[in-house]
Chains A and B, each alone.
Chain A
Amino acid sequence: MTKTDKSERRFTNIIFISGLSIIVLLLAIFSTLLIASIPSIKTFGIGFFISKHWDPSLEKFGALPFLYGTLITSIIALFISIPFSISISIFLGEFFREGFISNFLRSSTEVLAGIPSVIYGLWGLFLLMPITRFIQTSLGTTPYGVGIFTASLILAIMIIPFSASIGREVISLIPADLKEAAYSLGATRFEVIKNIIIPYARSGIIAGILLAFGRAIGETMAVTMLIGNSNFLPKSIFSPANTMASVIANEFAESTGITASSLIYIGLVLFLVTMFVNIAGTYIIKKISLEASKEVT
């Protein structure tokens, strides 16, 4: 064996082990969650997801309010964010690809993506909460200021940079000849966007949206500060509610025994939900990119 052979071998080994350690890590997280949640799984079983009572004093736990709260806030946030993120992607990827405005806007979205979530939470407390309270007072509902609406709003703002930057990336990669061909056939700019850019970039845009959805599901701090942390199924969009990530962050430090185990059970569910969203996302992207390539070419 020569010296190069050896170093080649060593390199391959390192790469292989690094790759392997990711899988080990994933399994380690999953099994730790599973083992620690066994007492709770044994006590509450599958009814954990159907029961809507979370009662730490009687040690009766059901996670439906949290599951519901996580999904509803993330979905509302997604719907609020989609028009904005697509517009920003098109604006940056097609209209202003270079120049001062583009650079400024692009770095602004990047900075937004990097702001710690506790700062979003604080900002929400000082700005969004009074706005929500004003809306609630004008509608005649109880002016809590916090709740699903406020939390979804802050989540939407937090996830826009994610979907927008991926969208922009994909849109700017569209081959120029495709667009030029469309223009030469007499297409207007809107028609080019509608018939060429969006179909071509669809998988990328959706990938960005799903990534953003994943982030919204797991978001903790900003949501905790703005959702009102009420362990009940919300009655309206303005009701205080709670999410899976938020209840774990709140209660875990002082919990013991079955309470801690139930919180970890919620963590396990959160883990599985995020994994499911990711797998579904990859599947959708694969399917759509196949279709899109057929459509455009």
Chain B
Amino acid sequence: MFKWLKVLSFFVCILIVGFSGLNVYAAEGELIGAGATFPQPLYSKMFDIYFQQHKIKINYQGIGSGGGINQLIKKTVDFVGTDAFMTEKELKDAGAPVLHIPTCLGAVVITYNLPGNPKLKLTPDVIAHIFLGNIKKWNDPKIAGINKDVKLPDLSITVVRRADGSGTTYIFSEYLSKVSSAWKEKMGTGKSLNWPEGFIGQKGNPGVAGYIKQTPGAVGYVELLYALQNQMAFASIKNKAGNFIEPTPKTVSNAAKVKIPDDTNVSLTDTSAKDGYPISGFTWLIFYKEQNYAGRSKQRAESLAKMLMWVVTDGQKYVEPLQYSPLPKEASTAAQKIIKSMTYNGKPILN
């Protein structure tokens, strides 16, 4: 009987460990992060170089911003990547102040598949009506009117949108909510939306890009990075200042040349910067301001702060080669100031 119990308790132990999830911190000297998938290639590169230079191992898992924020609130990670500033509710759930630092910029581009892949120009209004399903043909006078030099075919527009909840959809819908009242009323802003009937949903940037490449007449929105890597055609968009801006890492960085508030909580969509691409946004790393929680050591807090400092300063030179958009100087300065406000037992970590 005793043996029997022993075996049973062994199984119970396995089950408990299995169900309770991994709530254990990794070894000292290794930092753990999780979150947004969009900046993951950049972070992998940066952390790899950081390891070579500083012998600190950093493990970043691209599980999505939502999942990352959950992990931070459960205090199982040191830092989290997110494409959207935390919401009021998330900040409240966190229990203690959470800091955000921008690390680079991303942009969403309107990409399409048309014969000859001409360069199109689009206005905010036209984009809203295409993605509301109101403009149904490529040779619609509204599109033709701003693209007089392009011969547009008599082709149905097939709209492709993200089927999964994503930061890309968030930035895109936030932009359209700012520039179109019809959009704001009908669709709003969110990571997943209630799209009109007849739109095709595809999973992830690769899914959307893949479908567009296969389908003449398709239009969709993907990360700039994706469009560049896949050599897809994308549109120049009229910004707030009235200029048609072609999305490039440079014009996306330009979008951040606005006044950055102290907490860096600024939406860059529909930017007022005159040479900035209007569907741009920061991607952030977030972490607790007070680093002494869940039994973390001071050394751990220090190596986190140093790593973050490196990301927004020296690390920035690795941003552009990977076709992301680096932080402009003002944003980097703001981020440095925030990192310096991190504390351990109420005392600043970096001097």
Determine if chain A interacts with chain B.
yes
Select one of A56, A129, A142, A242 contacting B192, CB under 8 A: A56
* Interface pair B202/A240, CB less than 8 Å apart: no
Instruction: Tell me whether A130 and B214 are in contact in the complex, defined as CB-CB below 8 angstroms, given that A146-B200, A240-B198 are known contacts.
Output: yes
* Interface pair B203/A225, CB less than 8 Å apart: yes
- Of the candidate stretches B60-68, B100-108, B288-296, B316-324, the one touching chain A is B60-68
* Interface pair B65/A254, CB less than 8 Å apart: yes
* Interface pair A253/B194, CB less than 8 Å apart: no
Q: Once the chains are docked, how many angstroms separate the CA of A32 from the CA of B65?
A: 24
Q: Once the chains are docked, how many angstroms separate the CA of A32 from the CA of B19?
A: 10
Residues of A within 8 A of B211 (CB): 125, 146
Instruction: Tell me whether A250 and B164 are in contact in the complex, defined as CB-CB below 8 angstroms, given that A13-B4, A228-B201, A230-B200 are known contacts.
Output: yes
Q: Please provide the chain B residues from 50 to 70 with a CB less than 8 Å away from any CB of chain A in the complex.
A: 63-67, 70
- Of the candidate stretches B183-191, B257-265, B274-282, the one touching chain A is B183-191
Is the C-beta of A97 less than 8 angstroms from some C-beta in chain B? no
Instruction: Tell me whether A253 and B201 are in contact in the complex, defined as CB-CB below 8 angstroms, given that A57-B187, A129-B214 are known contacts.
Output: no
* Interface pair B201/A24, CB less than 8 Å apart: no
Q: Which residue of A lies closest to B170 (CB)?
A: A254
Q: Which residue of B lies closest to A142 (CB)?
A: B156
Q: Once the chains are docked, how many angstroms separate the CA of A251 from the CA of B191?
A: 10
Q: How many A-B residue pairs have CB under 8 A?
A: 109
Say which size band chain B's interface belongs to: 35 or more
Residues of A within 8 A of B22 (CB): none
Residues of A within 8 A of B11 (CB): 17, 21
Question: How many chain A residues touch the partner (CB < 8 A)?
Answer: 41
Is the C-beta of A215 less than 8 angstroms from some C-beta in chain B? no
Q: Which residue of A lies closest to B169 (CB)?
A: A254
Instruction: Tell me whether A56 and B200 are in contact in the complex, defined as CB-CB below 8 angstroms, given that A13-B7, A28-B15 are known contacts.
Output: no
Q: Once the chains are docked, how many angstroms separate the CA of A245 from the CA of B227?
A: 29
Q: Which residue of B lies closest to A254 (CB)?
A: B165
Select one of A13, A142, A230, A256 contacting B201, CB under 8 A: A230
Select one of A24, A126, A232 contacting B15, CB under 8 A: A24
Residues of B within 8 A of A17 (CB): 7-8, 11
Is the C-beta of B233 less than 8 angstroms from some C-beta in chain A? no
Say how far B214's CB is from chain A's closest CB, in angstroms: 6
Residues of A within 8 A of B199 (CB): 230, 240
Q: Once the chains are docked, how many angstroms separate the CA of A126 from the CA of B178?
A: 37
Is the C-beta of B163 less than 8 angstroms from some C-beta in chain A? yes
Select one of A142, A146, A229, A254 contacting B191, CB under 8 A: A254
Is the C-beta of A144 less than 8 angstroms from some C-beta in chain B? yes
* Interface pair A256/B66, CB less than 8 Å apart: yes
Q: Once the chains are docked, how many angstroms separate the CA of A231 from the CA of B165?
A: 13
Say how far B217's CB is from chain A's closest CB, in angstroms: 8
The 8 closest A-B pairs by CB, nearest first: A229-B201, A254-B165, A229-B163, A253-B64, A55-B194, A250-B164, A254-B66, A56-B192
5 new A-B contacts at CB < 8 Å, known A142-B156, A228-B201, A229-B201? A10-B3, A17-B8, A228-B200, A230-B195, A255-B66
* 9 contacting pairs across A/B (C-beta < 8 A): A13-B7, A17-B7, A55-B194, A56-B191, A56-B192, A143-B158, A230-B199, A250-B165, A253-B63
A residues with a Cβ closer than 8 A to B are 9-10, 13-14, 17, 21, 24, 28, 32, 54-58, 125-126, 129-130, 133, 142-146, 224-225, 228-232, 240, 242, 246, 249-251, 253-256
B residues with a Cβ closer than 8 A to A are 3-4, 7-8, 11, 15, 19, 63-67, 70, 156, 158, 163-166, 187-188, 190-195, 197-203, 207, 210-211, 214-215
